[in-house]
Structure 1
């Protein structure tokens, strides 16, 4: 990090991206084969499950996914009967997304698998290392947001 010469393999943003892609790809394969979900679709299901009713714009802000990705995932999930749209009393230009009964059932089936995958990925680390890693990720997010991320 102190060198003035860029070595891509040692560039932390690059390492974060590569690692994130590897983890996401392995999880995506599992979600796709088990539940027919893409990563953006799963993120929407999870966020909606955690929040109850939420707008697509709020999902984008929370997950850092772009508008088009959120919209496509929402359309696919509504078409599959996993999400429902209802009027947003606070803003008539937007809708709130909510899980349907089928969406809640799907979430109940996927969430344990997600936790199992996370557990398998981090099994080689002690809990204190994982806690420190999470704290560092949150600090990195905060700094990135403060510099215009």
Structure 2
């Protein structure tokens, strides 16, 4: 059975308007707190908090981004002293990426904002609706990953 989806809804998703609408309040909150990082940079910091001292290749896998994109993100974070590249002890050609103390402070500040925003976004949504929503999103992502 085919689902009936409004054409405008599909266009909003494909054009990125939905993502923009989600990101806008985050960026406004970041600006209020004088935090100058993108959501992609935050994703790198979040990965490093969970699994520090990883290679750039590992970050590519964790973030599902290509190597040039991850390189740019790390460069920008390094310029802000939020991450550091350290030579691998076993293979000097490899660099391991680690979060700095300053990076950890920024991550914690951003994480607090994200947590507040998510709580606000989830207001008046019961757990059952959330479970269905997550399940539908997971299925859609899987279906889209199968498109050649």
TM-score by length of 1: 0.77
Q: Would you identify which runs of 4 or more consecutive aligned residues in structure 1 move more than 4 Å?
A: 89-93
Whole-Å separation in 2 of the counterparts to 1:60 and 1:49: 15
Greater RCO (Cα-Cα under 8 Å, separation 6 or more)? 2
Deviation at 1:115, TM superposition (A): 0.8
- Are 2:102 and 1:102 equivalent residues in the alignment? yes
TM-score by length of 2: 0.77
Paired positions, count? 145
Please give the root-mean-square deviation of Cα atoms over the aligned residues, in Å: 2.8
Whole-Å separation in 1 of the counterparts to 2:111 and 2:89: 30
Give 5+ residue unaligned stretches, structure 2.
none
Is 1:31–1:39's contact at 8 Å kept on the other side of the alignment?
Answer: no
- Of stretches 61-70 and 77-86 in structure 1, the one that deviates more from structure 2 is 61-70
Whole-Å separation in 2 of the counterparts to 1:22 and 1:100: 31
Give 5+ residue unaligned stretches, structure 1.
none
